[in-house]
Amino acid sequence: MSTHPRRRLAVGLTVLTTLSAFVVLPSAASAAPAPPPGHHTGTLADGATWIADVPADWNGTLLLFSHGYGPTVAQDAPSSDSQTALLAAGYALAGSSYDPNGSWWALGSAERDQFQTLDAAKAVLGRPARTVSVGESMGGLVNAQIVRDAHGRVAGSLGLCGLVAGGLDLNDYQLAGEVVLATLLAPDAHVHLTGYSGPDDAAAVATTLTDAVTAAQQTPAGRARIALAAAFLNLPTWAPGQNPPAPGDAAGQESQQEAWIAAGQLAFIIGSRPSIEQAAGGDSGSTVGLDWRAQLASSPHRDEVRALYQAAGLNLNADLNALHAAPAYHADPAATAWMARTSTAGQGLTAPLLDLHTTADQLVPVEQENAFAARVRNSGDAQSLRQAYVARQGHCAFSTNEILAGLHALEHRIDTGHWGDTSAAALTADQPAGTTAFVDYRPARLVDGGR
């Protein structure tokens, strides 16, 4: 998903070898005229708008960009800065708004609209030497679907902070974290966490729970319970404007998780749920049969939680028993089927995919990359996927140079048929010193609600 950083993205790395094995160049006699440089736009059958921007010295590569959750307005780059840099590097850009009459959770139309945008752009630009799909946040999930279903329409794909674990996992782990807050910090508020009547209803619940967190932060017991909820939310322990807490510093870790919540975390994730419910026709989230103990045991934050409970003199088992005893949320079967059909990825790849992710992403936890890699591996396509990480706080908080480095690395794979060095050192070397923050990193397991 994406908020203000929702409009960012990432791209990167170049080595051109044996190009003729992958691209058949037209003869001089048959070469099409150069496409008109500048801005182009049009409308698709469902009313979605598409845009394309072409530099005067187009290098032949078209980047098909899938934007994140938010207004259905056409975008062809993560930000104005990245758009300027990509055009200056010779890339043409295209992207759609998705269906303007639908939900901001546009998974019902996004992949279709993106492929139709590709066809519309080709009609104006001519056939590109190759097309690379790019997507950020929710658009990273769309991007993973595009590379799954491309069948020759894209040569490769670059994912940025992608919601690649999909909508079912998202609805489950966010709901579980919210149940912890409602049950342990605001039991008398009797809030409901699904089936919102609209944005105002969701906003009121978000305010209630945020206020409960702010009050709980004042006591050791409250801080322990905030950490427990953060573990189920997969919330990072490194917040903006702060240094990362030292390993084993449970108090410092919880303090920065609470800072994320105080900065509007619940307002966004709870506020987005009505859009997902609108798209799916109901809520797919479930806590039925959830093994709260097993899920906590699988979290990278388990030691933090246990340390804070011990320091507070609080009984963790008693709180876990309370969560087991809390009324369960039941998934709507039709909504679950819709989410499974439209809002999943990882079932296969038909072209190489490089995913970039920040290590402290509060909206799309970096642990989603772990879940996605497992699904791709189970589909037999592990050699088509590479993942790289940027040591930074925030959702889609990439520098333009990090995007370029990722794009160049993907182009090397497209041009040679083999992945080159995608280590942090190699990606860092692609751009001027000090302009990237790549790090060798392995995400922990995603606490996904048990489904």
**Averaged pLDDT for residues 169-189:** 98
pLDDT over 60 at 444, yes or no: yes
pLDDT over 80 at 325, yes or no: yes
**Averaged pLDDT for residues 29-48:** 80
- pTM tops 0.95, yes or no: no
Rounded distance between C-alpha atoms, residue 175 and residue 302, angstroms? 19
pLDDT over 60 at 248, yes or no: yes
Task: Return the SS3 of 160.
Answer: strand
In this structure, the dihedral spanned by the alpha carbons of residues 127, 25, 18 and 426, taken in order and rounded to 10 degrees, is: -40
Show Cβ contacts of residue 425 under 8 Å, excluding neighbours closer than 6 positions.
Answer: 438
**Averaged pLDDT for residues 70-94:** 98
- What is the per-residue pLDDT for 139? 98
- What is the per-residue pLDDT for 35? 72
Task: Return the SS3 of 49.
Answer: strand
Share of the chain above pLDDT 90, in %: 91
**Averaged pLDDT for residues 108-125:** 97
Task: Return the SS3 of 132.
Answer: strand
- What is the per-residue pLDDT for 25? 36
Mean pLDDT of the chain: 93
pLDDT over 60 at 5, yes or no: no
At 209, is the pLDDT very low, low, confident or very high (cuts 50, 70, 90)? very high
- What is the per-residue pLDDT for 33? 58
The ranges assigned to domains in the chain are 4-165+344-439, 167-338
At 450, is the pLDDT very low, low, confident or very high (cuts 50, 70, 90)? low
**Averaged pLDDT for residues 418-445:** 98
pLDDT over 60 at 21, yes or no: no
Of 86, 76, 13, which is closest to residue 55 (Cα–Cα)?
Answer: 86
**Averaged pLDDT for residues 257-269:** 97
pLDDT over 50 at 31, yes or no: no
- What is the per-residue pLDDT for 387? 98
At 400, is the pLDDT very low, low, confident or very high (cuts 50, 70, 90)? very high
At 449, is the pLDDT very low, low, confident or very high (cuts 50, 70, 90)? low
Query: What's the distance, CA 196 to chain centroid?
Result: 24
pLDDT over 60 at 157, yes or no: yes
**Averaged pLDDT for residues 79-101:** 98
CATH for the 4-165+344-439 domain, from 3.90.79.10, 3.40.50.1820, 3.30.2030.30, 3.40.50.300: 3.40.50.1820
Q: Which two tokens stand for residue 228?
A: 């427990």
pLDDT over 90 at 4, yes or no: no
**Averaged pLDDT for residues 335-350:** 97
Rounded distance between C-alpha atoms, residue 226 and residue 224, angstroms? 5
Greater confidence (25 vs 63) lies with 63
Rounded distance between C-alpha atoms, residue 353 and residue 422, angstroms? 12
pLDDT over 50 at 2, yes or no: no
Rounded distance between C-alpha atoms, residue 35 and residue 60, angstroms? 10
Task: Return the SS3 of 388.
Answer: strand
Could you report the per-residue pLDDT of 122-134, keeping only the tens digit for each? Answer: 999 999 999 999 9
- What is the per-residue pLDDT for 169? 97
Question: Residue 209: beta bridge partners?
Answer: none
